[in-house]
Structure 1
Amino acid sequence: MTHPDTSIHAHRLSVNRLAMTGALSTTLLFILCWVAGALGFVGSHAFIALFTLAPVLSVTALCIGMLSAAVFGGIGGAAIALIYNVLGQRAA
């Protein structure tokens, strides 16, 4: 009879995968907020304004905001993975 491995392993996050996840999810959230604002929902304008100075519901805001959201989401995701991996090394 074999016994399951019960040792604790330090897991590392893929920096590239988390950067892509951050970029795509932030961009999707930006698009959803832009569409919600275009449909008249209140509250999405502040999120849109985080990523662009263009008029909130303009096509320019959509384009610049999507690019900015992708860049900042990617940087945020990569930073989370890097910090997680460094803290995991120190704890092991």
Structure 2
Amino acid sequence: MLEWKVKPGSRKVTGAPLRERPAIRAVYVTENATQAIVQEWDATKRSSGWVPDKDFASVLAKRPEKLDPVGPTDQQLFQRLLANLYDLGRCS
């Protein structure tokens, strides 16, 4: 992921990237989607796609006070994404 400034409306890239290096950013969300944390790793492009330069964690363990609260709109989004990704509808 490289972050760029874009012109509103046209969505055309303006100027140089806002980061020096490409990165992979992951959002880790609690099961009830009320808390989350964002973690970022520098990334390198390989034939298989972008890969993190360091150890990437698919599961992250953090104390609850280290997490950020998630607003109601994003809670609904995260719950939908998690349900679709993990087929949670079939678990009930």
TM range (shorter): under 0.3
TM-score by length of structure 2 reads 0.24
* Greater RCO structure (CA 8 Å; 6+ sep): 1
- Which structure is larger by alpha-carbon Rg, 1 or 2? 1
Please state which structure has a larger fraction of its residues in strand. 2
Please state which structure has a larger fraction of its residues in helix. 1
